[in-house]
Amino acid sequence: MPDININGIPVKFPFPEPYVPQINYMSKVIESLKTSKNAVLESPTGTGKTLSLLCATLGWVENEKQMQQRCDEIDEADGASLSAMFEDENGACCDLNQIPLIIYASRTHSQLKQAMDELKRSEYKYVKAGLIASREQLCIHPKLTGKTNADKMTMCRSLVQKKKCEYKERLDSPLIYPILKSHENQILDIEELGNIGNKYKCCPYYLSKEMNKKPEIIFMPYNYLLDPKIRNANQIDLKNAVVIFDEAHNVEKVCEQSASTFITSTQIDTAIGNIDHAINKLNESGSRDIPIEIVRRLHTTIKALKEYFDDLTLTRTPINPTGSTTHPGDFIHSILKTVDIDDENVNCTIE
């Protein structure tokens, strides 16, 4: 299939004559990439948005790689002419030192699978692709089945550290290397990683990490990008990266969830019980390493917080069956102040 020219960029498209909406969409994608500007793009359902997005982006990356190759072939003595050869449309010298990583984010793994399937059907199915997913989706260890993601993470790390996870140990075995080699150029979604893990009894989670080394495009859920803790834990570097948010109307909700903290009545009851236990232990031991007055004050504060929430009246309606209400972010400060938690006493220290 011959390449089509979109804004001066050769793009491999799987159909000989793209529809006008597809050409317009790819044109805007490439314009955004060439000018390093953000873009909010919308296309009607059924117009091949994902395919157009992937082909345009990877076509631009392919062009950047070819320019880099040409740059590398120029002798150092000819460096003075380099900026003239590789100026962008604004006359600025292009930075060809690094080829950008494409980060493709969507809300769910099923949406990511659809995008990866589109990539497999495109002319760019040869690119090195990676996938970031959690142990919740990828762990196949029978002892961790049914555990929460937090428990899986803790138990997995313990087993791996003690070299007691046979699935991780098998992945590190030289015998598995030919198997990994045979899959290194494949685009593997969660289901396919799981199938490989089950077939060869090796860990799909750590297999995905092996597959993520030096990818050209990497797929991940929104929260891996939007939550700083998750982003840092996965060592996701946004420098020199092209970030694509597919189905971007969901981003706001994910940002809210990432910045939210939930406190349940059960957690408050547990905290009160733990403080009661600490007070009893301090009374029994007679220890004054921790001033008991501070612990009692904390006990009073937490009980007051519980009473505040217990006294809340929720007005439930057919439209709002939970009776929930929304307030500005600083409303939490007024709640805490009613139980004597404010800037003046929150930094109470134990000497």
Asked whether 57 and 242 are in contact (CB, 8 A), the reply is yes
In this prediction, residue 76 has a pLDDT band, given cuts at 50, 70 and 90, of low
In sequence order, what are the residues at sequence separation of 6 or more whose Cβ sits closer than 8 angstroms to the Cβ of residue 120?
187
Each residue's pLDDT tens digit, 155-202 = 999 999 999 999 999 988 888 888 777 887 789 999 999 999 999 999
Domain that holds residue 231: 100-129+212-258
Given this model, what pLDDT does residue 195 score?
Answer: 93
In a domain, 319, yes or no: no
In a domain, 89, yes or no: yes
Q: Are residues 205 and 217 in the same domain?
A: no
Q: Are residues 171 and 270 in the same domain?
A: no
Given this model, what pLDDT does residue 223 score?
Answer: 85
Given this model, what pLDDT does residue 61 score?
Answer: 93
pTM above 0.85, yes or no: no
Q: How many domains does the chain have?
A: 4
Q: Are residues 158 and 85 in the same domain?
A: no
- Of the residues 144, 178, 211, which one is the last residue of a structural domain? 211
Q: SS3 for 332? A: helix
* Helix 292-310 and helix 331-338, axial crossing angle in degrees, nearest 10: 120
Give dist(CA 119, CA 50) in Å, integer: 9
In a domain, 275, yes or no: yes
* Structure tokens belonging to residue 54: 């992937």
Q: Are residues 79 and 28 in the same domain?
A: yes
Q: Are residues 88 and 26 in the same domain?
A: yes
Cite the beta strand spans of the chain per DSSP E. 4-6, 9-11, 101-106, 129-131, 217-221, 241-245
In a domain, 318, yes or no: no
Q: Are residues 118 and 171 in the same domain?
A: no
Q: Which of 251, 245, 104, 247 is nearest to 187 (CA)?
A: 104
Asked whether 86 and 96 are in contact (CB, 8 A), the reply is yes
Give dist(CA 111, CA 117) in Å, integer: 10
Q: Are residues 265 and 347 in the same domain?
A: yes
Q: Are residues 253 and 104 in the same domain?
A: yes
